Amino acid sequence: MNGSPSHNYRTRLQSSDPAIHDALVGEEKRQQAGIELIPSENYTYPEVLELLGSVFTNKYSEGYPGKRYYGGQKYTDFIEILACERAKKLFRGEHANVQPLSGSAMNQAVYLGLLKPGDTILAMELSHGGHLTHGAPVSHMGTIFNFVRYKSLPDGTLDYHAIAQLAEKHKPQMVLCGYSSYPRDLDYAAFRQIADSVGALAMADISHYGGLVAGNAMANPMDFGFDVITTTTHKSLRGPRGGLIVSKLKHAKAIDKSVFPGLQGGPHMNAVAAIATTLLKAQQPAFKEHCQQVLANAQALAEQFHKHAVTLVTGGTENHLLVINTIVSFDINGHDAQELLDQVGITTNKQVIPDDPLSPARPSGIRIGTPAATTRGMLEPDMMKIADWITDTLNNPNDANHLETISRQVNQFCAQFDVPGL
């Protein structure tokens, strides 16, 4: 295949920019040789990589299909319409917008399109599992809108009666649910009822687990009458980096206007094409089986950690992720735990825990998830090995020889599993 376009492009890159070429090769080797456990990361489809590097990158397409500001839109209109139709079918919505350039932009577009500056949004506290875009004070949205935050209980569950009381007190214009580090499922019927009780919109940000919703492994908020859901298109969906908004038809005009021209200019049509292909992949039986395996693997991880007496935030998981309290379990902060695990080829991320007494730079936990490992074909017995390695590593932070042995074991283990696209 030496005459293939991809080979020719790689050769050309090596010649024109050897430093970047070497970094690319290095990253490919890193992904092959290590275990990716950051729950927001995954391995995208080879078809997606092909489309991201396609000639759709060259095309400006400001506006919407049939209403563009540039000519030459025959095929860009086709792929965007197809992507929107597939999104509506997959997430059972009446309207879809596939143009947001990222998850942050998609959430901002919803807030700015459906609300007025100063309006109140009831959302989950960041350290209890919410997301930066859910009104964290350091975010721009946190200064534009009045966010009131609910927390989880000490056992990790949500007190929906208390959330309803907050709604009654603050009369929000929007009730927002969804999470980035909360290891449990949500009661969407309860959230819809809380929103209805104060005449608020109901929004769910399912960015982390959008693929699991698409694969019918987790509940779909649209089935409970939500006004809008947002999801990134990578993570558990395995697509390109981007944002997707699905809503009731009555919100279509406001959301579309908020995305363009309100918040951004031309969409990245290479990503739109890749989103369309991703959404087709997500309709297939194989993807639904994959989603069930993601959940089964997370359960296997949790069970093995319990055997090692590792403390998990909320005590376990009902989705694709777990949060380990590394201070209680190993007397190591999350930053140092992340660095140690990197040394042996296991990639995680430091994570604040509910009401964390430590700083976000050196928090009390790490967050791990199973989408990427599952994509490589790892199953429950493999999760047990991974839990053993994590526990062994964090129990022996100063034993260089032992850590080197674990690193070799991890490398040999990973050689059994292909990385899609490599």
362 given a catalytic annotation? no
* CATH code matching the domain that covers 55-281, chosen among 3.40.640.10, 3.40.50.2300, 3.50.50.60, 3.40.718.10: 3.40.640.10
Mapping DSSP to helix (H, G, I), strand (E, B) and coil, where does residue 209 land? Answer: coil
pLDDT of residue 4: 56
Is residue 367 among the annotated active site residues? no
Give catalytic status of residue 169 as yes or no.
no
Q: Taking the CA atoms of the chain, what radius of gyration do you get in angstroms? A: 22
Which pLDDT tens digits describe the chain residue by residue (422 residues)?
A: 445 556 688 899 999 999 999 999 999 999 999 999 999 999 999 999 999 999 999 999 999 999 999 999 999 999 999 999 999 999 999 999 999 999 999 999 999 999 999 999 999 998 899 998 898 888 899 999 999 999 999 888 899 999 999 999 999 999 999 999 999 999 999 999 999 999 999 999 999 999 999 999 999 999 999 999 999 999 999 999 999 999 999 999 999 999 999 999 999 999 999 999 999 999 999 999 999 999 999 999 999 999 999 999 999 999 999 999 999 999 999 999 999 999 999 999 999 999 999 999 999 999 999 999 999 999 999 999 999 999 999 999 999 999 999 999 999 999 999 999 88
Looking at the domain that runs over 285-414, which CATH code has it been given? 3.90.1150.10
Single out the catalytic residue among 41, 47, 50, 62.
62
User: What does DSSP say about strands 243-247 and 228-232: parallel, antiparallel, or unpaired?
Assistant: antiparallel
> Do 55-281 and 285-414 agree at the fold level?
no
Which pLDDT belongs to residue 2? Answer: 47
The answer to whether the bond into 261 is cis (omega within 30° of 0) is yes
- Is 288 part of the annotated catalytic residue set? no
Residue 146 forms beta bridges with which residues?
Answer: 120
Amino acid at 94: E
N-term to C-term CA, the chain: 14
Residues 6+ apart with CB under 8 A from 154: none
pTM score:
0.95
Torsion angle defined by CA atoms of residues 272, 420, 12 and 4, in that order, rounded to the nearest 10 degrees: -90
Q: Rounded to an integer, what distance in angstroms lies between the CA atom of residue 279 and that of residue 222?
A: 17
Enumerate the domain spans of the chain. Answer: 55-281, 285-414
Active site residue 235: yes
Q: Does the active-site annotation cover 60? A: yes
Catalytic residue among 76, 232, 314, 393: 232
